[in-house]
Amino acid sequence: MNSGNTPAVWQNPLRDKRDKRMPRIAGPCAVVIFGVTGDLARKKLMPAIYDLANRGLLPPSFALIGFARRDWADEDFGQIVYDAVKKHARTPFRQEVWDRLAEGFRFVQGTFDDDAAFARLAETLRKLDAERGTGGNHAFYLSIPPGAFPVVCEQLSKSGLAETQEGCWSRVVIEKPFGHDLESAEALNSVVNSVFPESSVFRIDHYLGKETVQNILALRFANEMFEPIWNAHYVDSVQITMAEDIGLGGRAGYYDGIGAARDVIQNHLLQLLALTAMEEPVSFSPAELQAEKIKVLSATRLAGPLEETTSRGQYTAGWQGSEKVVGLLDEEGFSKTSTTETFAAITLDVDTRRWAGVPFYLRTGKRLGRRVTEIALLFKRAPHLPFDASMTDELGQNALVIRVQPDEGITLRFGSKVPGNKMEVRDVNMDFSYGSAFAEDSPEAYERLILDVLLGEPSLFPVNEEVELSWKILDPALEHWAEHGKPDPYESGSWGPQSAFEMLQRSGRDWRRP
Ligand code: BG6
């Protein structure tokens, strides 16, 4: 008999009666991609659109319009999409899906400053609305350098495309970098917001589209086990690592002068920090989720002095596995005197009751030992160890590690008795792995995010204020580095410059070896 207040079978009173297996499908719409010849469009956007169509999540009337300078016919554009889909799509190729999707492909030739080209674009969309039934709903995907945002926004405004007609929507999707510091981000945001209201602006941070990143919220707020220890009473420090093994050959145009901190700390890593450190939102409504992220980002600042709490590096030649690779300065397109960092690490304090005194260490780099992104909560040591000291030599800190990628999952690390007749304690791991726990494959981040744009679901898109707060956090480090010389060299295939290790050693800590 159940004599307490808890029902024998616990039922969630808020349980939604809808069948959750029925996915939401986008309504009639057209997507216009600017920057259709770029890498992102070919490797991520076009394949994701095909994958969505293949999963039955796009409407039959869907249309995709490419806008670029090339002198292409609709068929040439179709061929580019076809090649991209064949090479990069996640789901199998199905001819009937492709044929239906390809009927909605159009290409508009022009440059961004060409009024006539935007008039042709408007005409193409009008025709599609009337003939294909795209319903006057248009998403404009700016997969272009931020320098071109103002002119494209202005053209969309002049040609009437930014205006939302009665019962229809018009949305703009922008890709990072959202500026290169706080001031430029504010300027960029004000240009975009002068044409599109904030509710129609979707800023892509593709990390938020990753299943493992969304799972941070499920892990923390759907369980009773973790939240009680998710604070400064138990956590010693937090390490957020985004390591890549690839180099920057071929990416000089974008990366030189930008560097690792602007490329990924300002956006991906600070978003991971926000989700890890924020308080429980009242609900998962976009406004309430954003309010909590904004609150925690407002409480976050660089710990100082910056010469001791930050590090930046640049890779030199070395070995990546069995491949001999060149240093950044010998990569195609980089100047021999480039001071662009390919590695950056910072220490942050989160000034809240929950986190006071817990350093958050963020690091990212190219050409590191291997590709891995993880968030590790490292716990304080037990206040007393009633063992013979030599029996706990191999006992480290307890850790909870969210493995964002690859090998997506969660690891708990704790001490366990080594079998035998001594009370020897050693670290062991307990693993949850997406691959073995779930039969379904995770969709690509861009599938989720593009679908959310078409559904008008803004939860996974950082708002203006989050972007500006992130620059506010990072700017002092960028200024410090700009004033203090060159990044420290580190060998390709290593785990970064010596200064990054010293940064933690000063407080008696060490980076995790993922
Ligand atoms: C992008 C950065 O945002 O993320 C790249 O501009 C980086 O430099 C990429 O390589 C990594 O994404 P992912 O999803 O492969 O971790």
User: Domain map of the chain by residue range?
Assistant: 29-175, 209-505
CA atoms of 490 and 87, how far apart (whole Å): 34
CA of 218 to the centre of ligand 1 (A): 24
CA 181 to chain centre: 19
Ligand 1: which of 44, 178, 206 to mutate, judged by most atoms within 8 Å of the beta carbon?
Answer: 206
Residues carrying an active site annotation? 268
Spatial CB neighbours of 411, under 8 Å, sequence gap ≥ 6:
399, 400, 401, 403, 429, 430, 431, 432
Residue 250 has pLDDT above 90, yes or no: no
Mean pLDDT of 266-273: 98
Residue type for position 230: W
Cα of 271 vs centre of ligand 1, distance in Å, is: 14
- Strands annotated E in 251-398: 300-302, 310-316, 318-320, 323-325, 343-350, 360-365, 372-379
Q: Which atom of ligand 1 is nearest to the CA of 210?
A: 14
Atom of ligand 1 nearest to the CA of 246: 10
Joined together, the tokens standing for residue 172 give 């703009």
Res. 484 pLDDT band, cuts 50 70 90: confident
Give the number of the atom of ligand 1 that is nearest the alpha carbon of residue 371: 16
**Number of continuous H segments (helices) and E segments (strands) in the chain:** 17, 18
Burial class of residue 467 in the structure, from the number of CB atoms within 10 Å of its CB (0-12 exposed, 13-18 middle, 19+ buried): buried
Question: Could you tell me the distance, in angstroms and rounded to a whole number, from the CA of residue 242 to the centre of ligand 1?
Answer: 9
Which tens digit of pLDDT belongs to each residue from 436-482?
888 888 899 999 999 999 999 999 999 999 999 999 999 999 999 99
pLDDT at 130 over 60: yes
Superfamily of domain 29-175: NAD(P)-binding Rossmann-like Domain (3.40.50.720)
153-189 confidence digits (pLDDT tens)? 999 999 999 988 889 999 999 998 899 999 999 999 9
Instruction: Judge whether residue 23 has pLDDT over 90.
Output: no
Q: Give the separation between CA 175 and CA 202, rounded to whole angstroms.
A: 9
- According to the model, what pLDDT value does residue 414 have? 97
The mean pLDDT value of the chain amounts to: 93
Looking at 3.90.1640.10, 3.30.360.10, 3.30.1600.10, 3.40.309.10, the CATH number of the domain 209-505 comes to 3.30.360.10
Q: Could you tell me if the CB of 244 is within 6 A of ligand 1? A: yes
Span from the CA of 331 to the centroid of ligand 1 (angstroms): 18
Which among 264, 265, 375, 448 is the best mutation to test ligand 1's pocket, defined by most ligand atoms within 8 Å of the CB?
264
Tens-place pLDDT, residues 289-329:
999 999 999 999 999 899 999 999 999 999 988 899 999 99
Mutate to test the pocket of ligand 1, among 268, 342, 448 (most ligand atoms within 8 A of CB): 268
| Strand (E) or helix (H) holding 68 | strand 63-68
Q: Hey, is 475 helix, strand or coil?
A: helix
- pLDDT > 90? residue 19: no
Q: Which residue puts its alpha carbon closest to atom 3 of ligand 1?
A: 264
- C-alpha span between 140 and 157 (Å, rounded): 12
**Cβ count near 385 (within 10 Å):** 13
How many A from CA of 243 to the centre of ligand 1?
Answer: 10
pLDDT of residue 12: 44
Ligand 1 pocket mutation, candidates 263, 370, 470, criterion most atoms within 8 A of CB: 263
Report which ligand 1 atom has the smallest distance to the Cα of 445.
14
For ligand 1, atom 9, which residue shows the shortest CA distance? Answer: 264
Ligand 1 atom nearest 254 alpha carbon: 6
1 pLDDT band (50/70/90 cuts)?
Answer: very low
| Distance separating alpha carbons of residues 379 and 229, to the nearest angstrom | 9
Distance of CA 456 from the midpoint of ligand 1 (Å): 25
pLDDT band (50, 70, 90) for residue 69: very high
Burial (CB count within 10 angstroms: exposed 0-12, middle 13-18, buried 19+), residue 284: exposed
**CA dist 403 to 55, 198, 406, 504, Å?**
26, 33, 7, 21
Res. 24 pLDDT band, cuts 50 70 90: confident
Please tell me if the CB atom of residue 264 comes closer than 6 angstroms to any atom of ligand 1.
Answer: yes
426 CA from centroid of ligand 1 (Å): 36
